[in-house]
Structure 1
Amino acid sequence: MPALPRPAHGPGSRYTARAATTRHRPTRHPDVAALARRLTARDLWLVHMLHEHRVLTTHQITRLAYTSLRSAQRRLHTLHQHAVLDSFRPLTQTGSAPEHYTLGPAGAALLAAHSGLDTAATGWRPTHTGRIAYSPTLGHDLGVNDLLTHLAAHTYTAPETGLPLWLSERSATRRWGDIIRPDAYAHYSDADHLLPFFLEYDTGSQTLARVEAKLTGYAAFTTATSTRPALLIHTRTASRDVALRHRLAPAARELGLAVASTSADFATNTPWDAWWSPFEPAARRTTLTGLAAHWPHLTPAAGLDPTDADTPLTLPVPPLPPAIGAEA
């Protein structure tokens, strides 16, 4: 079977044709009422997270919500057996991919009931997992989620830091899609600083000119809303990072944008460290906290407050579960 388009580096880079090989489980109609006595607050949080971010691997879920891989695997298997979650494991050229989890039929029904809406409002369909498994953007989506789950989970080892807000591409598009379409929007904070930022996760599939054209939209957003988040660009390789900086830095300075970039060659597992280079002459790589201190006039994006048009399904989902507690 021919390989589908994929990033040359990072999450998703080794995937060939996607295989939506959902593990066997008993065939039965989801009994949402019966699940009420089985599910924990962490399970409900995970249902909302998978609705928001579409797909998370076992390792990403463990990073956010469990103290060990084994306890995560046990619980995820149980949730899969009850159809709260679906899963697939993509084919790889070498080795094996981790299990990839999506929202299952019972999870969609549970989400709808918990939100007081019809199941159709969740957007879930029987083909939901298959569409994700065979999507040509799977590697890109996993890369975004991998970067931001590392940032969110950093609070477990550095309690003064955190990711209090993380909006997916879909949520960002719902709010600002008439001007910009970032891959994510998030807030990174420590005890003294807040870094609100849009994320562009660059896999190298777009031309430099097309990436440069996006800066005009971010400048228009800043002008239209009188708010100024940073723009962080994560690239696949250091050479791509150099090429982007050379092409985009003059436009970023002319438009007055606060832009910084890094690559997977540096920031794969510790994206909060000193891997980020501002698009400014002679700028040195610095941490996310350093970027916030370097740009003291950054402000969160407009349009984050709930409106009458919001439903429980469109409100932001906390990046971390209510509490880790005992492993169920």
Structure 2
Amino acid sequence: MDDPVLRVQSQLTARDRILLGWLYDHGVLTTFQVANALFPSLGFCQRRMRTLYQLRLIARFRPQRADGGSFPYHWLIDQLGAEVVAAARDERPPRRDHARLERRRWTSTRTLDHRLGVNQFFTNLAGHARTHPEAELQQWLPEAVCQRPGTFVTDDDPALLRAYEPPVRPDGYGLWTESGRQVPFFLEYDTGTEQLGVLTAKIIGYARLFATLDRSWPILFWLHSAARERNLRVRLAEVPDLLRVATGTREDSAGPAGQVWASVGSSERCRLSGL
């Protein structure tokens, strides 16, 4: 019997496999996000995305703007693409309705803008790395994976694994390398809708998490405005010294890989690699 997964394998490039993995893990990406992160030009990206779409590896939808017109294509994993990713990872095949449920989820959810914002952060890092050989986004984990007990606790410590209950829900985890410096981090992506007290309360959860793991990484708050950042930093002034918390704002055109991060307790900005 003809196996569509085997049939399509020879038509995939390494870049295709990265893209399929991202869509499988992170739900939805726009054409511009994919182009910035993985391709040398928008036109090249659009042609390749069309090919993958015709192969039924990816699906797409285009939300309508409230003031008329439509947004760019939003890309999702299709069923065959999900099966290809699962096979490459030696995982159990996805449910037969995996792609249908994902399409329904992202075309109707109120959290689409938040997810696209989180994905914009990481694709901006990937885009920087694409044009800067000394930089690399080595790992990008979604919120759901951060909740799994085995993600940050190794199997050689079964007692800790059984006791591990993530007290926080980061929007993502990344491992960034630049100029020989490696920085693991958790991301908190802020849309400006939550009260500042809700944001600062998350620090307690991170402190508990790091105490359980006996290690810690920087916590990045990526804020929508400079005013929001100033107000949050007043609230964060009493963060324990054992935690490394840094803030940055999307108003800074340098992007998350640039010199935009200010650690709590310091007014100077540094690059992500400087954390």
What TM-score do you get using the length of structure 1 for normalisation? 0.73
CA distance in 2, matches of 1:209, 1:194: 31
Which amino acid counterpart does residue 54 of structure 1 have in structure 2?
Answer: G
Shift in Å, 1:156: 2.8
> In 2, are the aligned partners of 1:230 and 1:257 still within 8 Å (CA)?
yes
- Whether the 8 Å CA contact 1:168–1:185 is kept in 2: the answer is yes
- Deviation at residue 123 of structure 1 after TM alignment: 7.8
Match of 1:226 in 2: 214
Query: In the alignment, residue 263 of structure 2 is paired with which amino acid?
Result: P
1:189 aligned residue: 177
Q: SS where residue 163 of structure 1 aligns?
A: strand
Which whole-Å CA distance do the structure 2 matches of 1:157 and 1:109 have between them?
31
Indicate the residue corresponding to 2:235 in structure 1.
247
SS of the residue corresponding to residue 176 of structure 2 reads strand
Q: Does 1:66 align with 2:39?
A: yes
Q: After superposition, what is the alpha-carbon deviation per residue over 1:169-193, rounded to whole angstroms, capped at 9, x for unaligned? A: 1211223662221111112222242
> Where does residue 303 of structure 1 map in the other structure?
none
Q: 146-155 vs 211-220, which deviates more?
A: 146-155
Query: Which residue in the other structure is 1:24 paired with?
Result: none
The partner residue of 2:252 within 246, 262, 266 is: 266
Q: CA RMSD in A?
A: 2.3
Find the aligned partners of 1:152 and 1:53 in 2 and give their Cα distance: 14
Aligned to 1:159: 133
1:96 alignment partner in structure 2: 70
Amino acid at match of 2:271: T
User: 2:27 touches 2:102 (CA, 8 Å); kept in 1?
Assistant: no
How does 1:129-208 map onto structure 2 within 5 Å? 129-174=103-148, 175=151, 178-208=166-196
Fraction of identical pairs, as percent: 34
What is the count of residue pairs matched by the alignment?
Answer: 259
Deviations 1:142-190 (A, max 9, x none): 1111111111221233211222121111211223662221111112222
Contact 1:108-1:122 at 8 Å conserved across structures: no
Residue 83 (structure 1) shift: 1.3
Aligned to 2:260: 275
**SS of the residue 1:180 aligns to:** coil
Candidates 262, 268, 271, aligned match of 1:284: 268
Q: Contact conserved, 2:185 with 2:217, CA < 8 A, in 1?
A: yes
| Whole-angstrom CA distance in 2 between matches of 1:197 and 1:270 | 16
Separation in 1 of the partners of 2:186 and 2:261? Answer: 14
Deviation at 1:264, TM superposition (A): 1.3
1:202-260 Cα shifts (integer Å, max 9, x gaps): 1112111111111001111221111120011001111111111111221x1x3631111
Q: 1:4-41 deviations in whole A, cap 9, x for unaligned?
A: xxxxxxxxxxxxxxxxxxxxxxxxx9933432343333
Q: Verify the 8 A CA contact 1:234 1:261 in the aligned structure 2.
A: yes
Q: CA deviation at 1:51?
A: 0.8
- Greater mean alpha carbon deviation, residues 132-141 or residues 270-279: 270-279
* Equivalent position SS for 1:119: coil
- Say if 2:142 and 2:171, in contact at 8 Å, map to a contact too: yes
**Does the CA-based 8 Å contact 1:196-1:230 persist in structure 2?**
yes
How far does residue 125 in structure 1 lie from its aligned partner after superposition? 4.3
Structure 1 partner of 2:25: 52
The one-character-per-residue Cα deviations of 1:67-109 (angstroms, maximum 9, x if unpaired) are 1111111111111122110101111235531111110122123
Q: Which amino acid aligns with 2:269?
A: R
Q: Choose between structure 1 and 2: higher strand proportion.
A: 2
Give structure 2 stretches of 5+ with no counterpart.
153-164
Give the number of the structure with larger relative contact order, counting CA–CA contacts within 8 Å between residues 6 or more apart: 1
Paired letter, 1:92: R
SS at match of 2:100: coil
Residue 235 and residue 103 in structure 1: after superposition, are their counterparts in 2 closer, same or farther (change >3 A)?
A: same
* Alignment partner of 1:86 is 2:71: no
TM-score for both structures, normalised by structure 2: 0.85
